[in-house]
Amino acid sequence: MASNLKWMVLAGLFLGAAACSSGRPDYAIPELSDETRLSIAQGSLIGTKNEETGARAWYGIPFAAPPVDDLRWRAPRAPSAWDGILEANNKYSACLQYNERPILPGKKGDLVGSEDCLYLTVWAPGKTPAEPLPVMVWVHGGANTTGYAGFDDFGRLAEQNDVIVVALNYRLGPMGWFANEAIRESALEPLDKSMNFALLDIIRGLDWVGENVEAFGGDPDLITLFGESAGGFNTAALMMSPLAEGKFHRAIVQSAGFNVFSMQEAETGPKDPSHRRGTSSAEAIEQLKTTGALPADLLPSDPDFAKRIRALPAQTVFEAYRTIHQANALGGEIGPIDNTADGILIPEAFAEPGNEERILATDVPLIIGTNRDEALVAGLGSELFTTKSLGLIPKPRDKDAYAAHGGYPSRLWQVLGVQEPAKARSSALDSPVFTYRFDWDEEGSHYFTDISTLVGAVHGLEVSFLSGEFSVPDADDKLFFKDATKASRTRLSSEMMSYWAEFARAGHPGSGTQEDLPEWQAYGDETSAGESLIFDTPADGGVRLLRLEDDVESLLDELRIDPRLSTDEQRCATADLMIEIAKSQGVALDPFQKTKNTFCKKP
């Protein structure tokens, strides 16, 4: 998955180095509001109202039983009812994660959150709607190792476009994905044999939405599942699962793709070490034995194995993964194997490289796209492409070489993660697919360097436009969002929200909820075959349809002769980064490896 790419944490490291204020500094608990009292099947609750956005919000509603003690590494169970009135303002309920970029209360780098974490957030317009509204269920990103439901505030999306937005927590890291024989053998229910516990959490959340969203003004027959990065991969994974069929009616996949691991890789690792994409469960178990947390002679066939590993402190499990991950020099704190074709939640055949059936498994309307400069920030971590002003602030050694290094993998992501799935779906399925590219890059200069050149339309940036918050945790917000761009980016934000909401309402984004934007036509329409909607401000061409012509062969041919890359070493590094993108998309690596071998010196 893309969750294990080193460069995806570089933007965060850069932001941390340049930080002087946080967009979310005080972790304030929202005040309760009498306007939000209502009842659902579990009991009565009271939420909050945001005076700035006008939206109502309910934070920290349990949608499943706590997955703790003997329920660790089992499918989620239904939640219990409560007595009295639940005060739904616990904005910071989160699953266990390392606070490397401090997005939660606690010290930087600490293990924060809880195993008891299956809670969700609901945003609704300030006034109770006369008719049921479309429902949008958000799956947060964060490499499947960080993030939480209350992180992004979707109150503006709900209030301005008359939709209900629900955001779900799901178990992260090794608590969300764990493949082991003893765990399977200890199953109490058939779904306990799956190793995709986090995906089962999301399915349980969708069930909760279907059962309860009417109380908030939502229509259970109009549910759109949408997510970015890891959340987008999770959304695509659920489109592969027969267990999720009928639980959502549209999908939006942002900066992700259709890919899953094999059970072998999840449990014991890949046959070829060069194809390594993360830490297998067996490696973690061996590390637990090395530290003495488990007896060295304990085997999965031992009748007490499952009981003993479930009884381990969560921090001990996480530390085992962190030790292995850092030893392999991967970015971030941990990198467990996540979405896997386990034969229960996802068919085993879907793990085969290039298996097109995984793209076609669910026939629902789909929006899929990437950001133009997904991987541009990769150059920040390489002395081949970056130097440091005053010993601290990064600057490109050569702007053209820096752009080429990040440009090829970004364009490859668009081809493999967007264009090829769109071609397959538009020719084989009845439901339409709509493609986009997010191009906003107006950060400008700051701290003696040009942020636009360094990160551009970077991975994850579009989420700020769907929430309208324009806030960057652990950093000076003005690093990305200057006062001079407020009017134009707020307009672009409104346009994007409008398209997303109209898609949730009608299964077609059309001209947005206000019907005053360019018509976003389906990828396979005769009049717009192969065109994607570009999201940008008028200064850079505005919102418009554009045909994106790249393909794998032409990208590799272009890389081989691109004069912007002046050395074989630079071409080698760029080809290596393209391999990481290809791994994340689950395609055969041969053509990318052949290009890499042309330019990389053999050890």
* 213-229 pLDDT tens trace: 999 999 999 999 999 99
Burial category of 45 from C-beta neighbours within 10 Å (exposed 0-12, middle 13-18, buried 19 and up):
buried
Q: ∠ CA 95-100-102 to the nearest 5 degrees?
A: 75
d(CA 596, CA 57): 50
* pLDDT class of 472 with cuts at 50, 70, 90: confident
> Could you identify the residue written with the tokens 């039983």?
65
495 and 547 share a domain?
yes
CA-wise closest residue to 67 among 182, 222, 175:
175
313 and 381 share a domain?
no
443 and 317 share a domain?
no
Burial 539-578 (b: 16+ CB within 10 A, else e): eeeebebeebeeebeebbeebeebeebeeeebbbbbbbbb
* pLDDT class of 167 with cuts at 50, 70, 90: very high
* 84-96 pLDDT tens trace: 999 999 999 999 9
316 and 443 share a domain?
no
549 and 483 share a domain?
yes
Say what the pLDDT of residue 474 is. 59
Q: pTM of this prediction?
A: 0.95
316 and 425 share a domain?
no
Residue that finishes a domain, picked among 304, 327, 350: 327
301 and 377 share a domain?
no
Kindly state whether residue 59 falls inside one of the protein's structural domains.
Answer: no
Kindly state whether residue 462 falls inside one of the protein's structural domains.
Answer: yes
Task: Check pLDDT > 90 for residue 8.
Answer: no
Percent residues over pLDDT 70 in the chain: 93
Kindly state whether residue 16 falls inside one of the protein's structural domains.
Answer: no
| 3-state SS track over 424-466 | HHHHHCCCCEEEEEECCCCCCEECCEEHHHHCCCCCCCHHHHH
Contact 132, 65 (CB under 8 A): no
430 and 560 share a domain?
yes
* pLDDT class of 471 with cuts at 50, 70, 90: confident
Kindly state whether residue 541 falls inside one of the protein's structural domains.
Answer: yes
Kindly state whether residue 452 falls inside one of the protein's structural domains.
Answer: yes
Helix, strand, coil share (%) of the chain residues, nearest 5: 40, 15, 45
Region 346-375 average pLDDT: 96
For the chain, give the longest Cα–Cα distance. Answer: 69
- In this structure, the number of other CB atoms found within 10 A of the CB of residue 106 comes to 15
Say what the pLDDT of residue 15 is. 42
583 and 435 share a domain?
yes
Burial 375-391 (b: 16+ CB within 10 A, else e): bbbbbbbbebbbeeeee
**Distance spanning both ends of the chain, measured CA to CA:** 27
Task: Check pLDDT > 60 for residue 188.
Answer: yes
H or E, element range at 120: strand 119-124
Kindly state whether residue 585 falls inside one of the protein's structural domains.
Answer: yes
Q: ∠ CA 242-350-237 to the nearest 5 degrees?
A: 55
534 and 479 share a domain?
yes
Task: Check pLDDT > 90 for residue 448.
Answer: no
Strand partners, 371: 438
Kindly state whether residue 449 falls inside one of the protein's structural domains.
Answer: yes
455 and 552 share a domain?
yes
Say what the pLDDT of residue 22 is. 44
If you average pLDDT over every residue of the chain, what do you get?
92
* 99-140 pLDDT tens trace: 988 899 999 899 999 999 999 999 999 999 999 999 999 999
d(CA 463, CA 27): 20
The answer for 207, left when phi > 0, alpha when psi is -120 to 50, beta otherwise, is alpha
Domain count, the chain: 2
Kindly state whether residue 273 falls inside one of the protein's structural domains.
Answer: yes
Strand 218-228: give its sheet, edge to edge: 48-49, 56-62, 119-124, 164-168, 133-139, 218-228, 250-254, 366-371, 433-438, 531-535, 544-547
323 and 386 share a domain?
no
R_g of the chain computed on alpha carbons: 23
Say what the pLDDT of residue 391 is. 64
Task: Check pLDDT > 70 for residue 21.
Answer: no
Range of the domain at 396: 365-599
Say what the pLDDT of residue 479 is. 80
Task: Check pLDDT > 60 for residue 5.
Answer: no
